[in-house]
Amino acid sequence: MKRGFCLASQSPRRAELLRQAGFDFWTYEPKVDESAVPGERPADLTERLSVKKAAAAVRAADAEGEHPVCLGSDTVVVLDDTILGKPIDDADAFEMLQCLSGRSHEVVTAVTVARGDWRESRRVTSTVTFCRLSEDVIRAYCDTPEPYDKAGAYGIQGFGGSFVASLSGSYSAVMGLPLYETTVLLALAGIHPGWKENRRNE
């Protein structure tokens, strides 16, 4: 059996955060429908999707005779109860950033850890306030690759971090994975970062 656990995501940001925290893992790309159910609240959507992603990885591993711990996560950006997904083109990214300019929005991230029929989830809501953005700044940002694979059309860990006037909540959750809650859930499943494992084995 492989060491560590399975990250049910191809997000380079989630992988970066887990490596930063000292975890050993491998990745699996879950194929799940991420459409919202009519009337579904954003926080419920993101938790449901995190569960679906973790469960998809569990099923794939079980089919190969493996029974690892699997981690799924999902993040949504919410402005005035409207979910802002990943922009489909320049115009979409520009419009999203105009809407976020000078205002506060919520970033809701859920994480689920599963093994077999067992699963536990946590969700974290952070409030991000943007400074006012001129049209020139938005256009320049949209000329970079950064907005196009991210919910809300910005990356807090990249150039978009300079737009953030204030943040209340979890920086890592806004990036895509709440590290504190993730570490707690993995510990429940017996998974610890390498630097802790080394001390435990002394």
Instruction: Give the HSE-up count for residue 149: Cα atoms under 13 Å, Cβ half-sphere.
Output: 10
Instruction: Give residue 113's identity as a one-letter amino acid code.
Output: V
Q: Return the bridge partners of 110, or none.
A: 74, 123
SS3 percent helix, strand, coil of the chain, rounded to 5, is 40, 25, 35
Catalytically active residues are 74
Quick one: which of 101, 85, 89 has its CA closest to 137?
A: 101
User: How far is Cα 185 from Cα 141, in angstroms, rounded to an integer?
Assistant: 36
Quick one: which of 80, 134, 130 has its CA closest to 103?
A: 130
- For 61, other C-beta atoms within 10 Å of its C-beta total 21
User: How far is Cα 85 from Cα 74, in angstroms, rounded to an integer?
Assistant: 12
